[in-house]
Amino acid sequence: MNYPRFHQQMRWFGPTDLVSLSDIAQAGAQGVVTALHGIPIGSIWTTEAITTRKLLINELGLDWTVVESLPVHEEIKMRTGQFELYIQNYCESLRNLAVCGLEVVTYNFMPVFDWVRTDIAHPLPNQSEALLYDHRKYELADLFLLERPEAKAEMDPAQLEKLQQQFDRMSAVEKQELFQCVFQALPGSSEALVKDQVLAAIAQYQDIDAQQLRNNLIAFLEAVVPVAEEVGIQLAIHPDDPPFSVFGLPRILSTAADVEYILAAVPYKANGLCFCTGSFGAHPENDLLRMLKEWGSRIHFFHLRNTKRDGPDRFWEASLLEGDTDMYEIVKEAVYLMQKEQRSIPMRPDHGHKMLDDLGKAVYPGYGAIGRLKSLAELRGLEYAVLASTVK
């Protein structure tokens, strides 16, 4: 008997990605998760552009069923400017993706930044490198490199003085490296954002608090989810990364309570989750196994990665089987979910360590070939063992 299993994926950033489709095929993945990064955010993805990308992937014997991501324009998040046009374009892109056989569309509703880290090459004891978030270093970047106007007013005076002294001891090279780490551009790009550009983007949200952003997300979902449901697309929202406010910007998908609110507000099956164990796991109050059991039917995509917290405001990407999340229990519950609902759920390993021959290469941070190959192999082994012990 054939049992539903993970649809094993790896992320690919397109033809300019140093990790090739051949690398991904050799890693054992069945398909790739990708996007049309060259199309401006808010523009329509045409069937021609989608088909061209899909044929390129299929030539290597891989499939493409998951989009990551179809970006949500900032004017939609703020409900300003041409947001209605951008929502119409989003719906048209969903229709075109469905015509081309795509099944899952991942997106996020994080203002300005898709993710923030303070070190993209944190050295581990075995000399591999990992992504790391350290809140003290983030504060240095916010206060003294970005110089966000509200940052000092939000800070305790005694702590501000300590941070000023720490910043004064940093070399020019250390300051430049911190800026480049924190202000990375969107995934798939290696260029850092420009200071004035970042400040202007943040300033647009000065009158938008968490509840207003949440309302804007609900309004967006009420417009696009019926279209997704009609054409057979599953929408999978990615949680906040990190799962707390940065640069004074609101966060609305960091905790179990946030998930419950969003899923209940728009109760279509097509309105679902990208269940990222790293993002949810970096928040100490989240019980990932309980969340998986409660909302399994609304999970359309898994990002399986592990983080290790070192206090309330510092975490790094751990080896898949060694972080704060019990990955065996997560995989076991995911296998049970797939058997119960008789469906295969796409999964990809995420944020692998930079290691072996990838060290020294200019791969996108967290997306080298070998670290993710290692995680994919571990996940495949976990799934095999769970299946062998429970359903065979």
The DSSP result for 349-369, as a single string, is E-SPPB-GGGTTS-PPTT--H
Exactly one of 73, 238, 300, 353 is catalytic; name it.
238
The SS3 of residue 308 is strand
In sequence order, the β-bridge partners of residue 11 are: 33
Give yes or no: 73 in active site: no
Which region, left, alpha or beta, applies to residue 248 given φ > 0 means left and ψ of -120 to 50 means alpha?
left
Q: What is the rounded distance in angstroms from the CA atom of residue 77 to the CA atom of residue 299?
A: 23
Give yes or no: 238 in active site: yes
Give yes or no: 181 in active site: no
Q: Which two tokens stand for residue 178?
A: 């911190």
Token pair 């001891």 in the structure block, residue: 169
Question: What amino acid occupies position 52?
Answer: T
Count of CB atoms situated within 10 Å of the CB of 322: 10
Exactly one of 73, 122, 283, 351 is catalytic; name it.
351
Give yes or no: 350 in active site: yes
Give yes or no: 283 in active site: no
Exactly one of 276, 283, 300, 353 is catalytic; name it.
276
Q: What is the rounded distance in angstroms from the CA atom of residue 187 to the CA atom of residue 156?
A: 33
Residues 6+ apart with CB under 8 A from 289: 326, 329, 330, 333
Q: Which two tokens stand for residue 366?
A: 């967290």
Give yes or no: 142 in active site: no
Exactly one of 134, 240, 350, 358 is catalytic; name it.
350
Q: What is the rounded distance in angstroms from the CA atom of residue 101 to the CA atom of residue 124?
A: 41
Catalytic residue positions, numbered: 238, 276, 303, 350-351, 367
